[in-house]
Structure 1
Amino acid sequence: MPIDENLASYSDLAFKSAIVVYALVWVMLVWQFAITRKVPTAARELVTVGGGSATPPPSEPQLIGKVTDTGRPARPFSERLGNMAFAVLFVAFASHGLSIVLRGFATHRFPLGNMFEFISMATAAAVLLGLVLLRDVRYRGMWAFLLAPVLILLFLAGTKLHVDAAPVVPALKSYWLPIHVTVVSIGSGVFLVSGVASVMFLYRLWQPAGHESDNVFGRVAAMLPDAQTLDRLAYRTTVIGFPIFGTGVILGAIWAESAWGRFWGWDPKETCSFIAWVLYAAYLHARATSGWRDTKAAWINIAGFVAMLFNLFIINIVVSGLHSYAGLN
């Protein structure tokens, strides 16, 4: 069937709109970091209506704000700005998802036939997981760091890796394409959240709670959850992504047997995927092993994510193999 050029143009417009709105959300979150101030220790007690005092829970940000006539502290502008950013984030994700759907209808196939479409799907999966796991106000500070790699990947996909809507090469015209590649892209998106959480965990150890200075690093750390919470988030997301990605590798082997007559041939992409899977298995093992928890396990998790990025960019663009379907000229 011929490509629907109108739907393809609308898909590209929705994709570009998503990048712009994601960038707006990121700017709002950075702005929130810039204007948020910690309440001095001596001023943390809040005056109540009855004349007593109450101290906010340690898990809540200690922010300076006005006091209303009811005796309760008014929400500071920084908090309201963060809430607005989170609301606008749904608009960005809706535009992102619309671009993927329109791309599929425009090409009359599942929109996972090249690197541009794969990155779009993987980043959408990362944002969706973030909307599910990071919806609590305690995790709002994570969004600025999660959206940074999402924006970088989407920018690269929309500029250097973008290809016009077109049918896939004959080798990809199989029912295994939506099954195998969808599972792998979702697993990659989950690992993106996990990798960011481990990076923030190491950053939080560098700037421990209660010792934030007045410099920018300390102020950013003050907006993040504590190190233990970030470590648990990295572990939870890896537990989710590990079986998903592993299933994708197995489904790829089944497709390889159907297409090439063998389950495994140590093709560069197969090998790098296996290395990444082993690294994530090592992280889960280290996370449960005394003496390897915390920093050592976090570095293994980050190494796994670096292997995923290497597999996505270097293997697809530089190394030639049976999986060279990046869609680039």
Structure 2
Amino acid sequence: MPESSALTLDSVSVLLVWTAIAVYALAFIAYAVDLARRGAVAVDAKDAAAQAVRARELALAGGGRGSESIDAVRAQEKKSEAALNAPIGSRERLVWARIGTSLTVLAFLFHLGGDVTRGIAAGRVPWSNMYEFALTGTLLVVAVYLGVLFRYDLRFLGTFITGLVVMLLGGTAIWFYTEIVPLMDPLKSVWLVIHVFVASLATALFALAFGLSVLQLMQARRERKTLALARATAEGADAAALASARKTGPGFLKTLPGTDALESLAYRFAILGFIFWTFTLIAGSIWANDAWGRYWGFDTKEVWTFVIWVLYAGYIHARATRGWRGSRSAWLSIIGFTAVIFNFTIVNMFFKGLHAYSGLS
């Protein structure tokens, strides 16, 4: 926090940031309630019990209940995928999801105000140290999420997005805040505007891909258990076996698109992020040559930027040419984003080098 008691622009920025964090937290709660209500609708105890009884009767009579259950799963997947691509005006009226989205927009405006006032107070772009990069990076995560909502109904990702932003932005405001200081000489370049902004945009796209990949793994587990339940029902398994197989995971997963749709969407975001990250790597090399007289010097930050590029290049290549689909591709996406977070936190805080601009003492 600013030490001066006067209400400076930087103080206003901090106030706006904390207001944004509070509203993001409310949005997180609203989105969480939405997921809980989806689960309650998807899993009705009475209907589940009645279906189990009918399924057992059909199985004992040789009615082929297993194939019917599988068909029901596929029908639900098609319905969820249609909802994913539905235009804004024809989307399902999910009250708590709407509240969560409205609160997210409000928080984004406070967040934007905090970012802009920080930049005005500093007299430069607000991403020259770790605090400012997190401020702008999380802003872009939310901006990309809200922008994507115009094309895809990804409100089921709202809990992840707002939760991630609350943790990153809150942690940054508590532990990484730094006073405004003049730029170091290497940062006095137009590449500060271009290189860091594009890196932040790539990170935002990787974050969406990460969230979708996590849901893909959860959905894959549910689908496996659902098919196992169908087989157990068709084979006339005993009540204990049926009860065990019926535990397919959180109920809200039944209202989400299938694994193929989630994987395809994550892949698209990862490709876009990879394009921007490639530009980040190239622009960083050009900037390094301007600042230090060499394009590459195996500085820790340079190495980890390249490691992230290799991870996502491997993910895209493996999925496109080697047939790595399903859980394996999801794990590659998750590992890639984990490396991004490691690069931002651990590398900035504990590894010294020419890129030591975190602002932390």
Q: How high is the TM-score relative to the length of structure 2?
A: 0.76
Measured after TM superposition, the shift of residue 224 of structure 1 is 3.0
CA RMSD across the alignment: 2.7
RCO comparison, higher one (Cα < 8 Å, 6+): 2
Which one of the candidate residues 147, 151, 163 is aligned to 2:178? 163
Query: Residue 29 of structure 1 contacts residue 82 of structure 1 at CA under 8 Å; is this kept in 2?
Result: yes
* CA distance 1:60–1:315, shift in 2 (3 Å): closer
Query: Residue 139 of structure 1 contacts residue 225 of structure 1 at CA under 8 Å; is this kept in 2?
Result: no
Looking at structure 2, the residues matched to 112 and 14 of structure 1 have their Cα atoms a distance apart, in angstroms, of 17
Aligned-partner SS, 1:8: helix
Looking at structure 2, the residues matched to 83 and 268 of structure 1 have their Cα atoms a distance apart, in angstroms, of 43
Letter of the 1:221 counterpart:
L
Looking at structure 1, the residues matched to 122 and 77 of structure 2 have their Cα atoms a distance apart, in angstroms, of 53
Counterpart of 2:315? Answer: 283
State whether structure 2 residue 292 is matched by structure 1 residue 249.
Answer: no
Which one of the candidate residues 8, 11, 34 is aligned to 1:9? 11
Counterpart of 1:123? Answer: 138
Give the helix-richer structure, 1 or 2.
2
Counterpart of 2:35? Answer: 33
Counterpart of 2:209? Answer: 194
Query: Residue 287 of structure 1 contacts residue 294 of structure 1 at CA under 8 Å; is this kept in 2?
Result: no
Counterpart of 2:272? Answer: 240
Letter of the 2:265 counterpart:
L
Percent identity for Structure 1 against Structure 2: 34
* CA distance 1:144–1:291, shift in 2 (3 Å): same
Looking at structure 2, the residues matched to 170 and 269 of structure 1 have their Cα atoms a distance apart, in angstroms, of 18
Letter of the 1:31 counterpart:
V
Letter of the 2:199 counterpart:
V
1:51-80, Cα deviation, whole Å (9 max, x unpaired): xxxx9995259xxxxxxxxxxxxx88xx21
Measured after TM superposition, the shift of residue 146 of structure 1 is 2.2
Looking at structure 2, the residues matched to 57 and 220 of structure 1 have their Cα atoms a distance apart, in angstroms, of 13
Letter of the 1:29 counterpart:
Y
Measured after TM superposition, the shift of residue 17 of structure 1 is 1.0
Counterpart of 1:71? Answer: none
Which one of the candidate residues 71, 79, 84 is aligned to 1:59? 79
Counterpart of 2:108? Answer: 93
State whether structure 2 residue 125 is matched by structure 1 residue 105.
Answer: no
Mark the structure with the bigger radius of gyration. 2
Letter of the 1:175 counterpart:
V
Looking at structure 2, the residues matched to 87 and 278 of structure 1 have their Cα atoms a distance apart, in angstroms, of 37
State whether structure 2 residue 344 is matched by structure 1 residue 312.
Answer: yes
1:157-197, Cα deviation, whole Å (9 max, x unpaired): 11111112333233322222111111111111211111111
Letter of the 1:326 counterpart:
S
Work out the number of aligned pairs and report it. 301
Gaps of 5+ in 2: 52-74, 82-91, 230-244
Query: Residue 76 of structure 2 contacts residue 255 of structure 2 at CA under 8 Å; is this kept in 1?
Result: no
Measured after TM superposition, the shift of residue 226 of structure 1 is 2.0
Gaps of 5+ in 1: 44-54, 62-74
Query: Residue 257 of structure 1 contacts residue 263 of structure 1 at CA under 8 Å; is this kept in 2?
Result: yes
State whether structure 2 residue 168 is matched by structure 1 residue 184.
Answer: no
Looking at structure 1, the residues matched to 273 and 9 of structure 2 have their Cα atoms a distance apart, in angstroms, of 32
Aligned-partner SS, 1:164: coil
Letter of the 2:120 counterpart:
F
Looking at structure 1, the residues matched to 13 and 217 of structure 2 have their Cα atoms a distance apart, in angstroms, of 38
